[in-house]
Each structure stands twice: as structure tokens, then as C-alpha cells.
A and B are shown apart, each in its own frame.
Chain A
């Protein structure tokens, strides 16, 4: 039963990872930028929720009403102010810029909020669980995180595949110059993509914060988890990203079941095995990036 439990908890954890990963995947798919500040932006969202819940006295879930639009706006501005310029500087510039941003965010958070461990108490909803049999309970919060992750990924998939803005994103990602000939403003398309990505980052940050604890220096770790989910699943496939998140979550939970300190390591090892055996990921789709 403990193993079944570990797997179930791992799947639920994987939901969070999938949520982390979809923003990274989207920015890479559309802008061709690997955003090395992705994890720190997630942590920033969690801290914004700390401030919002503190000042407004609301439940973290309610704080999403503020945090999601603020992060989306930040994404828009970030793209306009930094990322777009870096795109003109060849392959290295975006990496250097986002890595610099990661250092800035991390240390600014550290100075502002200290190194203390935080969490976002979600009240009764955060602690209640669904009993599925003896020894097997599923937290409502964990379950709803997974549901949100699936919904966000499905939503993104629909936006990309069926809406005009999704079409514009795919076209701009294919060839920004020709897209401009079609009347598409690449700066706007990129900025909207980044805004959407950071909205998902906001969701990920707040849900992560409700599920566990976080510190200002957690960002790099989250970036790594998001990255592993993306690569395990296969670059460019959103459903692959979900699968990658779930595989990573299960690997970590099972590893931790063997010995607590093996959790993260087990995740890394599964990632390396996938990289060695199936470098294009479990679900690589060629046509949709």
C-alpha cells in the first residue's frame, strides 16, 4: 500500500511540475528562448501571493485574482523591455539576460523577504483530504492542482491550435519576418505569449506555495524540475509536458519512499536515463513545436 500511495502522491506532485513546465515550454516554443529566470519568476509569484494574502487578508486562492494579472503584465513588460532586445543579439544574449534576471530576482527577493521559509496557508481546503481506502488519502488541494494543470495545458493546446492568436504565435515562431509581411507584429505576439506563460507561472507559484514551503532561493530548483518535465515529455508537445511532469513526480515520490534523500536524485536519474535512451522525449511531436 505504501508503494501505491507513493505513486499516487507522485502523480499529484507531477501535476505541479507540469504546471511549472508549461510556461517554460510555451516561451521556448514561441520565442525560442530558454528562460533561465523561469523558476525565480515562479517564486516571485508565490511571494506576490504572500503579500496579497497579507495585505488583503484573503485566501491564497482568491489572491490569484491579483497575482495572475500582475504576472501576466510583468511578462508583457519583460518581453518588451528585455527579451525582445536580447533576441537581436544572437543565441547567447537571451541566455545571459535571463540568467542575469534570475540572479537579480533571487537576490532581490532574499533582501526583501529574508531567507525564511514561507508557505501560503490555504485553510481547510489545504488540509482536507479524500479517503480512498485504508492508508490511501488524496489531498483536495493536491487533486485540484492536478486538475488545474490538466486544464491549463488543455487550454493552452486549444489556444495554440484553434485561435487566431495561437495561429499567430505558431507563424511567428516559424518565421518572424514572413509573419510581419502578414501584418503580424512580432513584438506583440511575443509579448502576449510571454504574458500567457507568466500567467501560468503565477498559477504554478501559488499552487506550489499552498502545497508546501518555499524560500527566495528555490527558483533554480523549480527551473530544473520544469526543464526535466519538458525534456522527459518531449520538446514542443504540451501533452508530453504533462506526461513528463507526472513521470518526474512519480520518480521523486518513489525515490523518496526508498529513502527521503533520494527523492530529487531519483528524478534527476530518470531524466538522465530518458536523455540517454530517448533524447527526443517520450512524446515528441515533430509538426507542433
Chain B
């Protein structure tokens, strides 16, 4: 071999970066925004915070469904089962004289505990059949619930434990709970996806068989996601209960919740953290605008979801980020060559 001039080594080695410029800005902006939102009950009228509770509940649901489908690869149309359980957990807590706000925590626990045996069953199904399987389980929850007279059987019951709290204060506490729930959910998913589990999930989503042979524990990773998503949906159901103070089985266990979740996530952008939040905001606006038109608005919603699934696979957030690196909450790793 003759002497070959060696190429000079780069002065700095490439670095793995986990942030983007946008994410650093977002980190700085996030805290003041959250603080501002937290102060809102002192600044805005109660009907504003009341609307925001609805919005936050939707954001929470969308984030959970995205965790399942976008990161876990599991399309569920049975999350209403956990929403219903959460709502009823508040009702049961109330019956036993427990503070309904404490019921929020109980709801998460109850949903997570029931999610374990549910996962055992539905994980035997795949793809679309998994979807319907979760739906059957949700139906079972509903049918079993309505057998209990103590919680009002088929017609439901009211949450009475908060009647002593003045409405303005009650509204504010509910609002803070909803805000906290959203912050915890988004933050939690963000941290979850940046953890080893997130890496495993990405591997599973891209190449399940290869991931399995490389020792990624596919089942347990999926089970964790399923349980976390169930807890989140249970919390959402509990928020609905303390917000409306009334729990009706046909409403809290309605498959329409799944329709809403799917719509929000598909419109916003599956598999990103920002997308579902954006989707929830868009959905909330559409709901406010079109609700007077009755079922037609759902027809439009369904049609838009079809169009988005076929034409804009990455959703609105995908369009926003088409040519820009504006990941506010980046979960991946990027190689950077510093000069």
C-alpha cells in the first residue's frame, strides 16, 4: 500500500442532540403560559374557565389516544370504557362520602387496575379486531354498570358531595384540576417517549418482529402504554363527572368519545405530541360552531376525518412542520455536526 494522505479528522465529533431551536423557545415560553392559565380564574369570567375545562378534557383524551395509536400502534375504539369507569369512580367515591376531587385520583387507579385484565384479553386480537375488541369490553363495562341500582342503574346519578362548595370556587378548583391533568399528561407522554420505553415503542412501531428479536419486550411495552392511556381516560371521565355533576351511563360510555378522539388525533397529526393538542383545539372550535346543526356536524366531522386519513396523513401539525424543524416537544434523537 502506498502512502495515502489521511483526511483531517473533524475537529469536533458529531453530537447527539435531543432539542431543537423551537423546543428551547417552547421550554422558555411554556412556564409563563401555564402560570397565566393557572391565574385565569382570577382574571376571566367563570364561563370562560368552564369552556376551558371542556377543552382541557379533550386535549387530555386526544393525548391519550395518540399515546395508544400514534406511539403504541394500537387503535382502540373502546376508550370510552375507561372514561365511564372514571366517571363512575367519582360517583362511587361520592356515595361513600369521599371528596369527589379525591375521586379524580381514585378514577385513575380504578381505570389502570381494570386495564390490566382488559389488556390480557384484547391483546390477543390485532389491528381492526383489536379495535372492536376494546369496544366490546367497553360495552361490558357499561352493561355491568347499569345493573347497579346504587349508582342509578340505566339513568345514572348526580354527584352530591360538592353541593356545599360555592359554585365559583367549585368551578375554579375543577378548572385547576383539568389544567393540572393536561400538564401532567403532556409532560408525562413527553418524558415517557424520551425514556427507554419511548425508544422501544419506536422500534416496535417501525419493525415489530425485529424489535422483538432484539430483545425489546413488545408486550410489556404495549401493556404499559395501554394502562397509562386507560388511567388518563379514567381521569378525563372523572373530570367530566366533577364538571357536570351528573353521570349518565349512555353518555359517559358512549362510543362517540372514541370518534372524537380519533378525529382530534387524525386531524392534528398522529404520532406527535403537538398534533393532538392542535387537533383538540380545532375540534373544540368546530364543536362550538357547528353544534347547533345537530347530527350534520358529525357527518362533516366524519367526512373530514376520512379526507385527512387519505390525503393529509400527518395532519395539521404535519402541514405546519412540512418544511421546518419546529418540533416543540421533540422526542427523538438528532445528529448534529458542530463546526
Chain B min CB distance to A110 (Å): 5
Q: Which A residues between 102 and 143 are near B, CB-CB below 8 angstroms?
A: 102-104, 106-108, 110-111
Contact B313 A224 (CB under 8 A): no
Chain A min CB distance to B140 (Å): 5
Given A97-B310, A101-B306, answer yes or no on A271-B136 (Cβ-Cβ < 8 Å): yes
Q: Which B residues between 117 and 173 are near A, CB-CB below 8 angstroms?
A: 120-121, 124-125, 127-129, 131-133, 135-137, 139-140, 143-144, 146-147
The distance in angstroms between the C-alpha atoms of A110 and B128, with both chains bound, is 25
Chain B residue contacts of A111, Cβ below 8 A: 294-296, 299
The distance in angstroms between the C-alpha atoms of A183 and B147, with both chains bound, is 57
Interface of chain A, main secondary structure: helix
Chain A min CB distance to B51 (Å): 24
Contact A104 B128 (CB under 8 A): no
A95 within 8 A of B: yes
Contact A103 B129 (CB under 8 A): no
B262 within 8 A of A: yes
Chain A residue contacts of B308, Cβ below 8 A: 96
Chain A min CB distance to B49 (Å): 30
Number of interface residues of B (CB under 8 A): 43
Out of A34, A97, A261, A276, which one reaches B306, CB within 8 Å?
Answer: A97
Contact A227 B301 (CB under 8 A): no
Out of A85, A104, A220, A223, which one reaches B302, CB within 8 Å?
Answer: A104
Q: Which of A93, A103, A265 gathers most chain B CB within 10 Å?
A: A103
A4 within 8 A of B: no
Given A100-B309, A104-B306, A231-B125, answer yes or no on A272-B295 (Cβ-Cβ < 8 Å): no
Chain B residue contacts of A235, Cβ below 8 A: 129
Contact A95 B313 (CB under 8 A): no
Chain B residue contacts of A110, Cβ below 8 A: 295
A242 within 8 A of B: no
Contact A107 B295 (CB under 8 A): yes
B77 within 8 A of A: yes
A-B CB pair tally, cutoff 8 Å: 125
Contact A265 B144 (CB under 8 A): yes
The distance in angstroms between the C-alpha atoms of A102 and B263, with both chains bound, is 13
Contact B310 A104 (CB under 8 A): no
Chain B residue contacts of A106, Cβ below 8 A: 298
Contact B77 A93 (CB under 8 A): no
Chain A min CB distance to B35 (Å): 37
Q: Which A-chain residue is minimally distant from B144 (CB atoms)?
A: A265
Out of B75, B125, B133, B305, which one reaches A103, CB within 8 Å?
Answer: B305
Chain A min CB distance to B279 (Å): 13
Chain B residue contacts of A220, Cβ below 8 A: 135, 255
Contact B310 A93 (CB under 8 A): yes
Contact A94 B128 (CB under 8 A): yes
Q: Which of B75, B129, B146, B309 gathers most chain A CB within 10 Å?
A: B309
Chain A residue contacts of B132, Cβ below 8 A: 34, 36, 223-224, 227
The distance in angstroms between the C-alpha atoms of A57 and B132, with both chains bound, is 38
The distance in angstroms between the C-alpha atoms of A92 and B129, with both chains bound, is 12
Out of A35, A91, A103, which one reaches B298, CB within 8 Å?
Answer: A103
Contact B259 A103 (CB under 8 A): yes
The distance in angstroms between the C-alpha atoms of A93 and B311, with both chains bound, is 10
Q: Which of B131, B147, B295 gathers most chain A CB within 10 Å?
A: B295
A275 within 8 A of B: yes
Contact B303 A95 (CB under 8 A): no
A80 within 8 A of B: no
Contact A36 B131 (CB under 8 A): yes
Contact A82 B127 (CB under 8 A): no
Contact B302 A107 (CB under 8 A): yes
Contact A99 B305 (CB under 8 A): yes
Chain A residue contacts of B186, Cβ below 8 A: none
Chain B residue contacts of A104, Cβ below 8 A: 298-299, 302-303, 306
A-B contacts, 5 listed (Cβ < 8 Å): A92-B75, A102-B302, A103-B302, A104-B298, A104-B302
In the complex, the 7 A-B pairs of residues with the closest C-beta atoms, listed nearest first: A34-B128, A103-B302, A104-B302, A96-B309, A100-B306, A107-B295, A100-B305
Query: Could you list 13 further interchain pairs (A-B, Cβ under 8 angstroms) beyond the known A34-B128, A261-B147, A272-B140?
Result: A82-B310, A92-B69, A96-B306, A99-B305, A100-B309, A103-B299, A104-B298, A107-B295, A111-B296, A224-B136, A268-B140, A269-B140, A275-B133
Chain B interface residues toward A at CB < 8 A: 69, 73, 75, 77, 120-121, 124-125, 127-129, 131-133, 135-137, 139-140, 143-144, 146-147, 255, 258-259, 262, 266, 270, 294-296, 298-299, 301-303, 305-306, 308-310, 313
